[in-house]
Structure 1
Amino acid sequence: MSFSRALKIAPSILSADFANFGSEIEAVEAQGADWVHVDVMDGHFVPNLTFGPQLCKAIRKHITTVMDVHLMISPVDAYIDAYADAGADVLTAHVEAGPHIHRTLQAIRGAGCKAGLALNPGTPVEAAAPLLDMVDLICVMSVNPGFGGQKFIHSQVETVRRLRAMIGDRPVHIEVDGGVTPETAPLMQAAGADVLVAGSAVFKGGSVADPAPYGHNIRAIRTACDVLV
């Protein structure tokens, strides 16, 4: 997984057909996805319950790109090895997910994964400052975590802009998760984001039997960003 600031679209399987994850992943990759984003929720840290390590392990063999696992769980440290063993390339934890985020990031790297740090809309961007040399990715939540399909929080554009200035020339990805559409994606890319997580904006209108809309939706996001550039 080499570093590049080129735009990457990471469809979230939270919006896929739960009965056909393997086929959905293969379809969306064939239609141009760069990464596959897996939203793990525990019903405690966030008000929803989703995917355990066994599900991640089961879908790993269908992913040929990057398996980007977003841990919206607390406590998080006890589960790092399980998700690493399931095949995650990137493991992202929230600042508030445990008492010692520095230790959490060390554990993620120690397990052989790229380390991601997630910032909620209410998390000060300054919280990332002491951790910039500990991370490979910072995920800026542009909705409150827990559910797909929420409305984009525009104040997070400035968060991305400030974060990009803080990162400087460090090889750290800026990911945006929540409310990404052809309308909001160019704003985030212009501010400095290079990984865009999109759920319903990618999967709407398509299916395993008719995956062409996935490609159309992905291209619409890319084209919108290219036009702004």
Structure 2
Amino acid sequence: MSFDRSIKIAPSILSADFANFGQEIEAVEAQGADWIHVDVMDGHFVPNLTFGPPLCKAIRKHINTVMDVHLMIAPVDPYIDAFADAGADVLTAHLEAGPHIHRTLQAIRGAGCKAGLALNPGTGIEDIEYLLDMVDLICVMTVNPGFGGQKFIHSQVDKVRKLRAMIGDRPIHIEIDGGITPETAPLMAEAGADVLVAGSAVFKGGSVSNPAPYGENIRAIKASVA
């Protein structure tokens, strides 16, 4: 993974056809996806259950871009090696998920992954100043984590702008997760984000047998930030 600040679209497989993950991933990559985003939820840290390391390992062979694994789980540390072994390129943990996030970020890098740090909508950026040299990506949640298809929280635009200023010239991606559409994407790109996670906004209207809408949806988001 070489670093660049160009806008990248990371479709969330939470909105894909669960019975056809491999084909869905191949279809959405062929239609222009830059990364593949995998939402891992534990029914404890967030009110939903989704995927574990075996699923990540199973889909890894279908991913030719970047496997971006977002751990909405607590505790995180006991599962880092399993997700790294499953093939994650980026492994993101929540600041709110445990008391020793510095140690968690060290462990993620130690397992050979890029280290991501996620922030819930109600979390400020004051606590991450001393973590910036430990992270490769900061994921700003623009919905409350746990479910797809929620409404974008506009207060996070200002958070991203301040975060971008804090990062300066460090090679850190700013990822936005939640409510990304052609209407909200420009707000985040202008504020300084470069990775946009989109679920229903990418997968709506298409299927494995009719993947063209995936490409149309991805291009619409990219065109909105051009």
- Using the size of structure 2 for normalisation, the TM-score is 1.00
**Structure-to-structure mapping, 1:19-98, within 5 angstroms:** 19-98=19-98
Q: What SS does structure 2 have at the residue aligned with 1:96? A: helix
Cα distance, 1:89 vs structure 2: 0.1
Cα distance, 1:142 vs structure 2: 0.2
- Counterpart Cα distance in 1 of 2:99 and 2:154: 29
- Counterpart Cα distance in 1 of 2:145 and 2:12: 13
Gaps of at least 5 residues in structure 1 are: none
Give every structure 1 segment of 4 or more consecutive aligned residues whose post-TM-superposition deviation is greater than 3 Å: none
Q: What SS does structure 1 have at the residue aligned with 2:47? A: coil
Cα distance, 1:130 vs structure 2: 1.2
Name the structure 1 match of 2:196. 196
Cα distance, 1:129 vs structure 2: 1.1
Cα distance, 1:66 vs structure 2: 0.1
- Counterpart Cα distance in 1 of 2:121 and 2:59: 30
Gaps of at least 5 residues in structure 2 are: none
- Larger mean CA deviation between 136-145 and 122-131 belongs to 122-131
- Larger mean CA deviation between 171-180 and 121-130 belongs to 121-130
What is the total number of aligned residue pairs between the two structures? 226
Task: Please tell me the residue identity of whatever aligns with 1:193.
Answer: A
Cα distance, 1:167 vs structure 2: 0.1
Indicate the RMSD between aligned Cα atoms, in angstroms: 0.4
**Structure-to-structure mapping, 1:134-149, within 5 angstroms:** 134-149=134-149
Task: Please tell me the residue identity of whatever aligns with 1:155.
Answer: S
- Counterpart Cα distance in 1 of 2:176 and 2:10: 10
Identity across matched positions, percent: 85
Task: Please tell me the residue identity of whatever aligns with 1:194.
Answer: D
Cα distance, 1:96 vs structure 2: 1.2
Task: Please tell me the residue identity of whatever aligns with 1:85.
Answer: D
**Structure-to-structure mapping, 1:73-222, within 5 angstroms:** 73-222=73-222
Task: Please tell me the residue identity of whatever aligns with 1:169.
Answer: D
- Counterpart Cα distance in 2 of 1:218 and 1:192: 19
- Using the size of structure 1 for normalisation, the TM-score is 0.98
- Counterpart Cα distance in 2 of 1:184 and 1:128: 25
Task: Please tell me the residue identity of whatever aligns with 1:178.
Answer: G
- Counterpart Cα distance in 1 of 2:22 and 2:36: 12
Q: What SS does structure 1 have at the residue aligned with 2:107? A: helix
